[in-house]
Amino acid sequence: LGSSSSVPFTSIFSQLFMTVVVPLIIGQIVRRYIKDWLERKKPPFGAISSCVLLMIIYTTFCDTFANPNIDLDKFSLIIIVFIIFSVQMSFMFLTFFFSTRNNSSFTPADTVAIIFCSTHKSLTLGIPMLKIVFAGYEHLSLISVPLLIYHPAQILLGSLLVPTIKSWMVSRQK
């Protein structure tokens, strides 16, 4: 197109490393030393992580749709939703197809785990990555819309497919 741009790879990778990898490593190291205490006290990490996830989703939605520069009409939003649901269903079908082939050594339980885990992406990792990679970009809100739709779509589709997949798994295990 006759234009060029420079991408600060070193800066992006160092910020991603500090945002994602370092907290993971620190958490694993700290966990080793306080594991017994955590098992005795049983803090409500499930409720805490759900609240943090809701807060991240809420603030991201607010940041995205409060931005006056977001130029997203209703028709475009509907098209994006349709594309994301289609992509999600396609990924789930492909993982089901490949994990249930005759030469596959996966059990039905493995297949269910593959379907749900391999196609799921989270806002908690995606939004910080977008903010780092596209720092200072004025249309960051617009770029985050597909991820904002993908995350609830995977939860909705997963919950709708659970009865069907459960009955498939039970019939296969017999």
pLDDT score, position 30 = 92
Q: In this predicted structure, which of 4-13, 95-104, 105-114 has the lowest mean pLDDT?
A: 4-13
pLDDT score, position 82 = 93
**What average pLDDT score do residues 75-98 get?**
90
Q: Return phi, psi of residue 100, to 5°.
A: -110, 10
The Cα 85–Cα 83 span in angstroms is 6
**What average pLDDT score do residues 86-92 get?**
90
Nearest to 165 by CA among 103, 117, 104: 117
Q: If you average pLDDT over every residue of the chain, what do you get? A: 84
**What average pLDDT score do residues 20-45 get?**
89
- Per-domain residue ranges of the chain: 44-173
pLDDT score, position 3 = 58
pLDDT for residue 62 is more than 70 = yes
pLDDT for residue 86 is more than 70 = yes
The Cα 76–Cα 72 span in angstroms is 6
CB under 8 Å to 149, separation ≥6 — which residues?
Answer: 80, 81, 84
